[in-house]
């Protein structure tokens, strides 16, 4: 048995150009920090291809494919057909990240909504869980997920930013909730309360790297090794030892992505 807590980063963008010069070192630091699994997340057609390519090379990296709400305007019929084709590739464990972002509105809202619905349908055809991005669009996102029967395929609300009531509604839909770096911030809003509230079998953690570094690394490029900071904060908020929180969230990640559980 290893002395390190075994962690699983459910949401990273390791194939992004931010890691072009030192990706091997980033992965080595993740492994040295106890990160035993990572899912690298596509956001458009090119990055979905890149995610599959990286997962093919690294035994502890899996991929997801999908079109981010920022890129929804690029998602015509042909592109979505290509995403569906990619979803069959080996080591693709989810469809995402998909959802709504009414904060930045980089694609028109009606287009975001349409592309989100179509990718939910795609995930149903593939029988794959979904990775949901939601910013300033909680009511709309939850309504689409309910109407799209997300409970039948499963999924995760990534980088959860709501309150306990919002978390309860995600749980009612059958979703996992993923906490990221913001739970460590001084202005963590309702996230500490959410961390304490979450049932142990529905919580996962993530970095969303290269974005959202935890406290202590703010202003820098994030990477999976820093997941230890977020996990330690969540464990402290819940009043449980880090190794227990790490084991539970890793088991949950493997359940979410339908990967074999680790022997312990
Ligand atoms: Zn996101
Ligand atoms: Zn992301």
211-238 confidence digits (pLDDT tens): 999 999 999 999 999 999 999 999 999 9
Spacing, Cα 54 to ligand 1 middle (Å): 19
Spacing, Cα 58 to ligand 1 middle (Å) = 23
Per-residue pLDDT at 7 exceeds 70: yes
Interval between CA 130 and ligand 1 midpoint (Å)? 12
CA dihedral for 241, 244, 250, 256, sign (positive or negative)? negative
68 C-alpha to center of ligand 2: Å?
A: 8
Q: How far is the CA of 254 from the centre of ligand 2 (A)?
A: 19
CA 130 / ligand 2 centre spacing (Å):
13
What pTM was estimated for this model as a whole? 0.97
Distance 200 CA to ligand 1 centre (A): 23
| pLDDT given for residue 264 in this prediction | 67
pLDDT of 1 above 60: no
Distance 41 CA to ligand 1 centre (A): 9
Rounded-to-integer distance, Cα 7 and Cα 206, Å: 9
Say which ligand is closest to the CA of 42: 2
Q: Flag whether pLDDT at 2 surpasses 60.
A: no
């Amino acid at each position: 048995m290893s002395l390190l807590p075994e962690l699983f980063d459910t949401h990273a963008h390791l194939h992004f150009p931010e890691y072009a010069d030192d990706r091997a070192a980033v992965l080595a630091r993740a492994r040295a920090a106890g990160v035993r699994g990572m899912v690298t997340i596509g956001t458009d057609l090119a990055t979905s291809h890149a995610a599959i390519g990286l997962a093919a090379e690294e035994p502890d990296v899996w991929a997801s494919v999908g079109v981010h709400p920022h890129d929804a305007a690029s998602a015509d019929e042909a592109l979505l057909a290509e995403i569906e084709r990619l979803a069959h590739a080996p080591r693709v464990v989810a469809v995402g990240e998909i959802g709504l972002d009414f904060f930045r509105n980089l694609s028109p809202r009606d287009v975001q909504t349409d592309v989100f619905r179509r990718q939910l349908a795609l995930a149903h055809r593939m029988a794959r869980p979904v990775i949901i991005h939601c910013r300033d669009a909680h009511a709309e996102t939850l309504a689409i997920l309910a109407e799209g029967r997300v409970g039948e395929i499963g999924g995760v609300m990534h980088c959860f930013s709501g309150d306990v009531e919002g978390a309860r509604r995600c749980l009612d839909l059958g979703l996992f909730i993923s906490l990221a770096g913001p739970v460590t911030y001084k202005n963590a809003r309702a996230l500490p309360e959410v961390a304490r509230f979450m049932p142990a079998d529905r919580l996962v953690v993530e970095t969303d790297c290269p974005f959202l570094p935890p406290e202590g690394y703010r202003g820098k490029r994030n990477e999976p090794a820093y997941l230890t900071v977020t996990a330690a904060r969540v464990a402290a908020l819940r009043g449980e030892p880090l190794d227990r929180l790490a084991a539970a969230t890793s088991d949950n990640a493997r359940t979410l992505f339908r990967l074999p559980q680790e022997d312990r």
